[in-house]
Structure 1
Amino acid sequence: MNETSDRVLGGCRIAVLLATAAIQLGLSLTRLDDTPGKIAFAALAGVLVVAAWWVLRWKPVPWPVALAGSIVVLAASAVAIWTLPPDRLLGDADWASGLAGWHLLVLLLDRPAVAMAALVLQMTLTFVRQFGAVPTDRGEIGSVVIAGLSVLTFQAATLTLIRVVNRRAGEAAEASAERDRQAHRKALAQQREADQRSRFAGQLGATLPLLAGLADRTLDPRDEAVRQRCALAATQLRRLFAENDDVPDPLLHEVSACVDLAERRGLTVTLAVSGEAAPVPTSVRRELTGPLMTALAAARTQARVSVLRADDEIRVAAITDGEPGRTANGSGAVDVEWHALGERSWMEAKWRSRPN
């Protein structure tokens, strides 16, 4: 149950509690005329005080307390009813038949089915007392049944109305929450779209000088350094496109995009993956794949790429037959190392999801 429904139902509990207290003190207290009736009245008042401990704090009455209190209410009602003469039941002197039902609502408002059963049982006690005590004619039976059903129907209608209001409040709160979630998702989508456009513009801005140099022949495409710049720019764009895809494992998807473009250039690339997929922030994925793109762009004929995922650490490594990009790098949350291994170079980018 959501917070709005809790507040609405809590307010209903307090309203029923206050109404019951007003009925007991204002309408029933003046009609006590014998000791058993006074004892029953005191028992009902005690139940109300106990229930108020939870109700006034906007909490439901705990089930063990509600069950014990209902038994006390039914017993007190039976005592008050059975000490009255049958001809006075459901009349001015019968304060218990209607009052006990309100106490049951206070105790069982959060359990509608149990509350309805208790209300029926309580009114049945009145009918049993009336019909089992002395012979009655049809007129008397009809009057008792009409009076009893009127009380029962009003209390049952109150219970039903409270449940309907609570359900409608919950539905309205859920609809409002869904609208908020949709607005939040829309804002996030717009932010992602703006961020994506900004990154594309930035990447294009970095690529334009290279394209301009190739176009005006100030850069020679036969030059190894120029070819590496072209390979790196193409890989960066390909990874940027992959970043926007909706896939279960974004990091592996982006690494695979880098590997795929390297293979299109004629490199022989092997990719090894270990460990289960784990959520990695977008900014961290960029830092993990950035050094990989540099290593693959510098590779001449072959490369071995590995993605290693443990519980709290993710590593992206590459061994290539190209020149190492740099000796070491500590950029943000990702640590990057470069080493020369004879005629090969080794690169590793490492991210800890739970830093020491």
Structure 2
Amino acid sequence: MRAPACGWCGPVSESAASDHVHATMRIVLVCATGVLQFGLSLHPLLTLDYRHRSLAVAAFVALACVPAVCCWWVLRRRPLPAAVAAAGTAVVLVASFCATAAVAPDQRFQAPDWSFGLVGWHLLLLLLDRVRVLVTVLAVHLAASAVLFLSAGVPDRAALGAAGATAFSAINVQLAVIVVTRVLSRQSHEATAVAEERDRLAARVVTAQQWERGQRSVFAGQLGLTLPLLAGLADGELDPRDGDTRRRCALAATQLRRLFAENDEVPDPLVHEVTACVDTAERRGVDVSFAISGAAVPVPSQVRHELTGPVVTALSAARTRARVSVLRTDEEIRIAVVADAGADDMVTAPTGQVAVEYGAYGEYLRMETRWRKRHG
């Protein structure tokens, strides 16, 4: 997300990749600023003549303090706070003006005017991730230096050419650093986006593979319960006219139908799975009334499995009549079944997130599953 740009805050980096590029470039700039200041600027300060040497020395010390203070954040690879960037920029500009004022007018843009090229590196260090502000400040510094240069009188052609060459070389190098940083940030951002997309695709593949393995396990487990029943019927060990055998066949058929319904892409999976159980019971000749109350809500697949498991058992045990009702509210989901079956037909009940209650009322069995949603 891009934060709004305002004042010294500037546009915030679009990604951690851009922050990494800026952090690395600041470390490079701290080293470059130190080398340029003490390796190139200190010698003319100590050996050349100045109108106000104390002013030049004070400017040199002030400029040296800026990268020293920035090191607290730079070496920890953290962005500079807006207050530090603003205060540092003010110090750099004031020190630059003082250093230029300490030089004789005819020596500006020459060796004694060491601050002109050096100040740009300090500004790069302070404002690298605030490009618009950085370019504006660099332009102001260049304009102020040109005004001071021209205020001493009209220079001759040689002095004007030397000043232009000095300004052009210094500004070009600093602008090149800005462009390189922007290019690296963009490329790093694009590489991060590609890596994130690759990770997302890999995660989807892993999820799909896990789902496929889970479905195979479920089908294998369901068929493992059904195959002994089919083998018993084929071998004649089970009598199709026996009531217990018919209930086992009804239970297996309802479970398989519910299992197939779990894989369908439908707007309301819970009602779809309950409807599949009801259809299987009706094909056996059971008169089923089905009522639904409340709007569709998302229900995890595991919870749906626990909610409909007792429904499968109750409907497969129904002999001639059953009533199914689904109640959905913002707080909970309930599925109730009343069927002409005995409580001893409820041989299993799921344990976990779903509560199950059942009992016999004369010749009828009443069963209810309930799931209360967890908020937060």
Partner of 2:176: 157
Percent identity, aligned pairs only? Answer: 47
One of 14, 23, 27 as aligned partner of 1:10: 23
Which is further off, 205-214 or 62-71? 205-214
For the Cα contact (< 8 Å) 2:310–2:350, is it kept in 1?
no
How has the CA–CA distance of structure 1 residues 303 and 220 changed in structure 2, closer, same or farther, with 3 Å as cutoff?
farther
Aligned partners of 2:314 and 2:346 also within 8 Å: no
| 2:28 counterpart letter in structure 1 | A
User: Quick one: which amino acid aligns to residue 138 of structure 2?
Assistant: L
Instruction: State yes or no: 1:41 paired with 2:60.
Output: yes
Structure 1 317/24 Cα, relative in aligned 2: closer, same or farther at 3 Å?
farther
List per-residue Cα deviations over 1:39-81 (Å, max 9, x = no partner).
Answer: 2222222222222221111100012221222122122212222
Q: Which structure 2 residue ranges, 5 or more long, are not aligned?
A: 1-13
Partner of 2:276: 257
Residue in 1 that maps onto 2:149 = 130
Deviations 1:247-290 (A, max 9, x none): 5654444334334444454542324244662452x434322221
Deviates more, 1:99-108 or 1:332-341: 332-341
Aligned-pair Cα RMSD in Å: 2.8
What TM-score comes out, normalization by structure 1 length?
Answer: 0.87
Per the alignment, in what secondary structure is the counterpart of residue 365 of structure 2? strand
User: Offset of 1:218 from its aligned partner?
Assistant: 4.7
Match of 1:61 in 2: 80
**Across the two proteins, how many residue pairs are aligned to each other?**
353
CA deviations over 1:287-328 (Å, ceiling 9, x no partner): 2221111112123322223244544x5544333333334488
1:101-250 correspondence runs (5 A): 101-216=120-235, 218-246=237-265, 250=269
Q: Output aligned runs, 1:260-299, within 5 Å.
A: 260-266=279-285, 267-274=287-294, 277-280=297-300, 282-299=301-318
Counterparts of 1:90 and 1:186, CA distance in 2: 63
Contact 2:291 2:324 in 1 (8 A): yes
Displacement of 1:343 in angstroms is 3.5
Structure 1 residue 340 displacement after superposition: 1.9
Output the amino acid matched with 2:307.
L
Partner of 1:345: 365
What secondary structure sits across from 1:331 in the alignment? coil
Work out whether residues 313 and 346 of structure 2, in 8 Å CA contact, stay in contact via their aligned partners in 1.
no
The whole-number CA distance in structure 2 between the counterparts of 1:133 and 1:288 is 91
Q: Distance in 1 between matches of 2:271 and 2:61?
A: 73
Provide the C-alpha distance between the structure 2 equivalents of 1:128 and 1:337, rounded to a whole number of angstroms: 91
Amino acid paired to 2:39? G
Measured at CA, do residues 319 and 145 of structure 1 come closer, stay the same or move farther in structure 2, by a change above 3 Å? farther
Deviation at 1:102, TM superposition (A): 0.9
2:355 corresponds to 1:335 = yes
Q: Which amino acid aligns with 1:117?
A: T
